[in-house]
Amino acid sequence: MTFPRLDTVRQTIRQMQGYIPGEQPQDKRYIKLNSNENPYPPSPQVIAALQQAIGEDLRLYPDPVANRLRDKAAAMYGLSREQILVGNGSDDLLTMLMRTFVGPGDRVAFPVPTYSLYGILVAMQDGKVVRVPFLADFSLPPQLAEVEAKLTILCHPNAPSGTLTPLHRVEELAQRVRGILVIDEAYVDFADETALPLLHKYPHAVILRTLSKSFSLAGMRIGLAFGHPDLIAELMKVKDSYNVSRLSSVAAVAALEDYAWMRQNVNKIRATRTRLSAALRELGYFVYDSQANFVLARQQGVIQEPMYHGLKERGLLVRYFSSPELADCLRISVGTDEEIDRLIAAMEELRRNA
Ligand SMILES: Cc1ncc(COP(=O)(O)O)c(C=O)c1O
C-alpha cells in the first residue's frame, strides 16, 4: 500500500486527538447508562409519522431549512421562524457557531469541566480555548466574563455535573460578556428553569436545544438553535446544504406535537433521579444535585476505573472519565427504575468484594 501523504494534513488536525464519544456497542448486551439517552421510547405518534414518511418522497432532497419544523418549534417556544435554525443534532449547531465566529487565534471561553466537544471544535478552527474552572460547587467563576472571548459557552444544566446555574447568574453573565453567549440547553427539559426568557432581552444570546434527550430521539439527530434573526441568518450561511433528513424533521415535528409524552417521561426520569442520587449517597458517594437526566457521583480520591470495569463486566455501562479532575467520579445516566435497581445491586456487590 502506498504511504498516504500525512504531512499534507493540517497541523492542527494531525496534532489533535479527536472527540471520543461514549461507547455505543451495537450488540445490545448492555444496560446503557453512559450516553444520557432516554430509557423510554419516543412517542407512538413519531413512529406513525415516520412510517407514513417512508412511503413518500425519499428520492427528493429535504427542505434545506426544514421550515415545517421551524414553524412548529416557533409556535411551541413563542418565537418566530427566523429565530430558529435546525441542526443535525445540536453538535451540528455547535460546529456552525464555530465556523461562523471563530477564526485562527480567536478566543472561546467556557467553564470546566464541561462537554468536551466544545474545546475540540475550537481547536479545529485554530481558535484559542480559554478554560475557566468552575468553583468547587460548580458555581460560575466570576473571571469567565472577563475573558475577551468571541464566544462564551455555558452548558445549562452542565455536563457532566448535572448542576444548573441559576437564571439570575446566567443573566449577569449575559450582561457582562462582550461577544456571543451560547447557552447549551441539551438537558434543560429535566431542569426546573430555562434561560429562554433571556433571549428576548439579550440579542447576543443563542440557546441550543436537542431532541436527543428529553424527546428520546438521539438516533434521529435533531437540534434547534434559538437566536436573533440576524444572527440565525449568518449561521445559515455555513450549514451543510441538506443537514436535516426528511425523516428526521418528520420525526421532530411529531415529537413536538406530542409534548405531553415527553413531559410524562421527564417526570418519571426526575423521580428515578431522586432515587438514584439517594442510593448512591447511601453507598458513600458525594452526588451533585442534578437537574439533568444523569448524575455525577464522586468518591473523593478513589479512582473509579475498577468500578467502571466491574460494572461493564456485569453488563452495565456507565461513563468514566480518565482526566485527573474527574477520575474519582462516575457519570450515570438515569435509566428505568429496574435498570437503576440492577446498577445499585451491582455496585453494592462490587463494594463488598473490593
Ligand atoms: C452538553 C451537550 N450538548 C450537546 C450534546 C449533543 O447532542 P446532540 O448532538 O445529540 O443533539 C450533548 C450530547 O451528549 C451534550 O451532552
Residue 231 CA to residue 144 CA, distance in Å, equals 23
Work out the percent of the chain whose per-residue pLDDT is above 70: 99
Which pLDDT tens digit goes with each residue over 30-52?
A: 999 999 999 999 999 999 999 99
> Which of 32, 112, 117 to mutate to test ligand 1, by most ligand atoms within 8 A of the CB atom?
117
Mean pLDDT score of the chain, rounded to an integer?
A: 96
From the alpha carbon of 91, which atom of ligand 1 is closest?
A: 9
Amino acid at site 326: L
- Residue 33: HSE in the Cβ half-sphere, 13 Å Cα cutoff: 32
Q: What is the DSSP letter of 195?
A: S
Query: Is the model's pTM score more than 0.85?
Result: yes
pLDDT for res 17: 86
pLDDT score recorded for residue 156: 98
What mean pLDDT do residues 290-305 have?
Answer: 97
For residue 216, give the 3-state DSSP assignment: coil
pLDDT of residue 347: 97
How high is the pLDDT of residue 5?
A: 86
What are the C-alpha distances in Å from 326 to residues 154, 181, 300, 304, 329? Answer: 19, 26, 10, 9, 5
Please tell me the distance from the alpha carbon of residue 343 to that of residue 30, in angstroms, as a whole number. 11
Whether the pLDDT of residue 95 is over 80: the answer is yes
Beta bridge partners of 85: 225
Ligand 1 is surrounded, with C-beta below 6 A, by 36, 89-91, 115, 155, 159, 184, 186, 210, 212, 218, 223
Q: CA–CA separation, 145 vs 214, rounded Å?
A: 30
* For residue 1, pLDDT beyond 80: no
Q: What is the pLDDT of residues 98-137, one digit of tens each?
A: 999 999 999 999 999 999 999 999 999 999 999 999 999 9
Q: How far apart are CA 239 and CA 183, in angstroms?
A: 19
Residue 12, C-alpha cell as written in the block: 492542527
Which residues are within 8 A (CB) of 18 and not within 5 positions of it... i.e. 6 or more apart? 120
Atom of ligand 1 nearest to the CA of 115: 1
Q: How confident is the model at residue 290 (pLDDT cuts 50, 70, 90)?
A: very high
Position 183 scores a pLDDT of: 98
